[in-house]
Amino acid sequence: MKTVAHTAIEPGILYFGTPVVLVSSTNEDGSANLAPMSSAFWLGWRAMLGLGARSKTARNLLRTRECVLNLPSDTLAAAVDRLALTTGSDPVPPGKQQRGYRHVADKFGRAGLTPVPSETVAPPRIAECPVAMEAVVEATHPVADDGGIVAFEVRVQRVFVHEDIRLAGTDDHIDPDAWRPLIMSFQKLYGLGEQVHPSTLARIPERLYRGPDIERARGAGARGL
């Protein structure tokens, strides 16, 4: 294999490619906010979400301690893009004004997406998203020295999926060949290609990863009960 030399660079962002998440949260007046983000990763039934500390979504999560993580497929790219440069904050924060953001109150209407009631949290799920995870905030962690970014540790309470991405003949498995997440790489939207190589890790049964948060999630009753 040919060795290629590295070159030192200083890119403004380091978004090398992660799934897009549409985070739904609840505003002070009870209406729903919807925000696209891609600074997220999962460990078991927990997720870490990186958000601007002054964003509407961050303020909603700090106040209500709950959200829904909706995962759009690559077919929903246009809907996600309609949310670009919009914010639920009014007035628009100066930093977002500089980048060209404008206030939009009805984010679901703007994106052309359908809210459906959640089971354990107040914010709605998105009907069109193949995956929707109801979650509660367990902890917050400041990132960097200026206080401008907050990492939210959220615990998933319910996982809902469309039937067409569930592995045939199973109850709890996602079919990776059917699930096509929307990926953001350096501010551009992409889909996934085919599997490029067999995975040795895929030989490990998924049940061996099941942690105590799954049992805890079963105890989360439906709202109003």
Give residue-wise pLDDT tens across range 96-125. Answer: 888 888 998 999 999 999 999 999 999 999
Residues 6 or more apart whose CB falls under 8 angstroms from that of 135 comprise 47, 66, 67, 68, 69, 121, 154, 155, 156, 157
Residues 6 or more apart whose CB falls under 8 angstroms from that of 65 comprise 136, 137
User: How many Å apart are CA 34 and CA 87, to the nearest integer?
Assistant: 9
- Residues 56-96: tens digit of each pLDDT: 999 999 999 999 999 999 999 999 999 999 988 888 888 88
Q: What confidence category does residue 200 fall into, taking pLDDT thresholds of 50, 70 and 90?
A: confident
Q: What confidence category does residue 224 fall into, taking pLDDT thresholds of 50, 70 and 90?
A: low
Bridge partners of residue 37, in order along the sequence: 21
- Residues 1-51: tens digit of each pLDDT: 789 999 999 999 999 999 999 999 999 999 999 999 999 999 999 999 999
Which pTM value belongs to this model?
A: 0.92
